[in-house]
Amino acid sequence: LIIKNERKAFRDNLKRIREHRGWEASQMADLLGIDMAEYLSLESRSNLPNTIQLIDFVKKLNVSLSDLIMSTK
């Protein structure tokens, strides 16, 4: 259950960060250095990036790890 909640939180937070910055999904994918299909999979399905990718995303987005994986509710 914890992993399921983290996956949903990650998906919701990734989309929230992108929308807050006014970016298209393609812009986010480019910034993160992944292809569009992979980005859309992260934002729409219950996939989590691997640990290395997650650390890279935190750096590139200039957010904390908790900003990406913790529920805002």
pLDDT digits (tens, 9 = 90+) for 28-61: 999 999 999 999 999 988 678 889 999 999 999 9
Full-model pTM? 0.86
Burial environment of residue 45 by CB neighbours within 10 A (0 to 12, 13 to 18, 19 or more): exposed
Backbone angles phi, psi at 50, to 5 degrees: -70, 170
Give the torsion sign (CA, 27, 29, 31, 33). negative
Give the residue from 5, 14, 26 showing the smallest Cα distance to 67.
14
Cα-Cα end-to-end distance for the chain: 16
pLDDT digits (tens, 9 = 90+) for 8-28: 899 999 999 999 999 999 999
